[in-house]
């Protein structure tokens, strides 16, 4: 099977097959970035009086769980 050849930038010859392979590789790289990118982690921290009382390590799309509400005499905790 003969492939067409393209001349780009006035001197680089590239075949139709090479273009197809480049597109497939590009799509695979994009898919890998999308899948792995969603697994990038981060940490949610809850503080009370400047002290971290709860940390949770999460990934994109995960839901944060609320820690137990802090108790301090003379104060009413109204939520995070």
Contact 70, 51 (CB under 8 A): no
Tracing tokens 């921290």 back to the chain, one arrives at 45
Q: Encode pLDDT of 16-68 as tens digits.
A: 666 777 788 888 887 777 777 666 678 899 887 788 888 998 887 888 888 88
pTM of the predicted model, to two decimals?
0.43
DSSP SS3 for 16: helix
Beta-carbon contacts of 33 under 8 Å, excluding residues fewer than 6 positions away, are none
Contact 17, 5 (CB under 8 A): no
Q: Quick check: 71 pLDDT over 60? A: yes
Contact 53, 46 (CB under 8 A): yes
């Amino acid at each position: 099977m003969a492939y067409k050849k393209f001349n780009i930038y006035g001197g680089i010859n590239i075949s139709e097959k090479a273009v197809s392979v480049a597109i497939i590789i590009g799509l695979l790289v994009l898919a890998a970035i999308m899948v792995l990118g969603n697994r990038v982690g981060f940490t949610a921290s809850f503080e009370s009086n400047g002290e971290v009382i709860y940390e949770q390590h999460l990934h994109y799309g995960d839901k944060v769980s609320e820690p137990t509400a802090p108790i301090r005499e003379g104060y009413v905790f109204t939520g995070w």
